Amino acid sequence: MAASMKKDVSASNSFHPEELLRNLSAQFLEMVPVRKIKWEEEQASALVTSQEIQRNVLRATVQHPICLIYPPSLSYRRYFMKTLIHKLEEYQADICDEIYEVYTDLLQQSEEEDDTLCYKTYSLPDGGEVSLQESVNLVCQGTTGLSTWQAAQHLTEFVLENKERFENRNILELGSGLGLTGIVTCIKCHVNSYTFSDCHPQVLYLLAKNIEANLTQQIPRFQEGSDRDKKIIRKIRRQLSINAESYAELVGNEESMIMSPTQSQTLPDQNDEDEIQSDPNDLELNNKYWILDKNGLHGTYKKDDKVRIAKLDWENVDNDLMLKLKPDVILAADVIYDSTINPSLVAVLQMLLKPHPDTGQIPIVYLASTVRNEDTRDSFLILLGSEGLVYTIVEPPKLSLFYYDRSVPIEILQISTQ
């Protein structure tokens, strides 16, 4: 069986091992669910042909230089290796010793704080990567913002394909989450300014860390941080803790209830030694990297003053903050999944879609949304019309850069005033 497969691979003109490994590496570093990683028949066959190819698979995944610095979760790496071994056994392959050694080493490692925070790395066209610290579970602590969702990846592809719409613009992103769209836009587009915004304190904290790591004009590097930073990370890890059964369900299922990101609620343990004493309304930023304004809601990145971050709660808008935000373009992804927050979102859009005080130009909105529930989407569109806002559905990007579920439709709305 293995011999015939080896013959088939060698005869195939379409087989390119470099492309196989590059695609596999990108999927692994993005933490694509293992069961959804694309293994073409010729790819699986190639693993059988040579133990050296098996070693190359290790170098492209669990031994990849990025994985050694910013690894996917330990649970994910274990499951990937287990699946790889099973696949090789199915083909009755002569498995190289290194595969067993790597898997054994992963099994012997202890999980830190239930393995709740991990790194996902997204490869960019023309080289380069963006590494984000994320939560392994999609919805946690009353927010969806601690993971990168499909619409954010889709919107990022749209930005990369339409750079001229964002060049030399002042951009505001609503519900930035962990920052994929904004970080890529800052790297690949020459913007006048880019303001990330969210309202959940834990999302904002990790968002700031991701900005610091990726927008430093050098190889992404997550700094060790102060004792206060370490306490916050420990607290986030503990609050995000999920058991192994829950994570296994995530890897194989990905189904999860969605909760509102506009509620910045935390329920600290009264006896928590790591509890951070601060005003819950303040934006928590490291003053080594950020200059915080007097209101405590807006920060400017010291290494690049074009990059800003804001704490913006749609249900409790700060007027001074809104006066400071003067965007030409507004971006948002996966923000209309809950009909109860649609009125607040539309009210914020109305406030932002006013003529610029200096130029008189009216901003424009690009809002990407995964259409999970047509009733929720339709209620948002009806609300837009009732408040004097108009929309068109723009052509989706042809670029397929990231690996995400494309079976559910994703729309990008262009919204403006009448």
> How would you class 315 by CB atoms within 10 Å of its CB: exposed for 0-12, middle for 13-18, buried for 19 or more?
middle
Name the more confident of 216 and 393: 393
Dist. CA 380–CA 372, nearest whole Å: 13
Dist. CA 282–CA 155, nearest whole Å: 29
Dist. CA 207–CA 8, nearest whole Å: 48
Quote the DSSP letter at residue 368. E
Name the more confident of 291 and 272: 291
Range(s) of the chain covered by CATH 3.40.50.150: 115-417
Dist. CA 90–CA 84, nearest whole Å: 10
Report whether 184 contacts 140 (CB < 8 A): no
pLDDT at 360 over 60: yes
pLDDT at 179 over 90: yes
pLDDT at 15: 54
pLDDT tens readout for residues 246-288:
434 444 443 333 333 444 444 344 444 444 444 555 688 989 9
Name the more confident of 322 and 138: 322
Dist. CA 305–CA 193, nearest whole Å: 8
Q: What is the mean pLDDT of residues 340-351?
A: 94
Q: How far lies 337's CA from each of 137, 260, 263, 340, 341, in Å?
A: 18, 8, 14, 9, 9
pLDDT at 220 over 90: no
Nearest Cα residue to 9 out of 41, 42, 34, 38: 42
Cβ neighbours, 10 Å, residue 45: 21
Q: Which CATH superfamily is domain 115-417 in?
A: Vaccinia Virus protein VP39 (3.40.50.150)
pLDDT at 17: 76
pLDDT at 275: 45
Q: What is the mean pLDDT of residues 151-166?
A: 97
Q: What is the mean pLDDT of residues 65-87?
A: 93
Q: Which two tokens stand for residue 36?
A: 């959804």
pLDDT confidence band for 127 (50 / 70 / 90) = confident
Q: How far lies 172's CA from each of 169, 177, 309, 316, 397, in Å?
A: 10, 13, 9, 18, 21
User: pTM score, two decimals?
Assistant: 0.83
Name the more confident of 364 and 148: 364
pLDDT at 234: 56
pLDDT tens readout for residues 93-126:
899 999 999 999 999 998 764 466 789 999 999 8
Residue 22 is inside which H or E element, if any?
helix 17-29
Total number of residues shown for the chain: 418
pLDDT at 225: 54
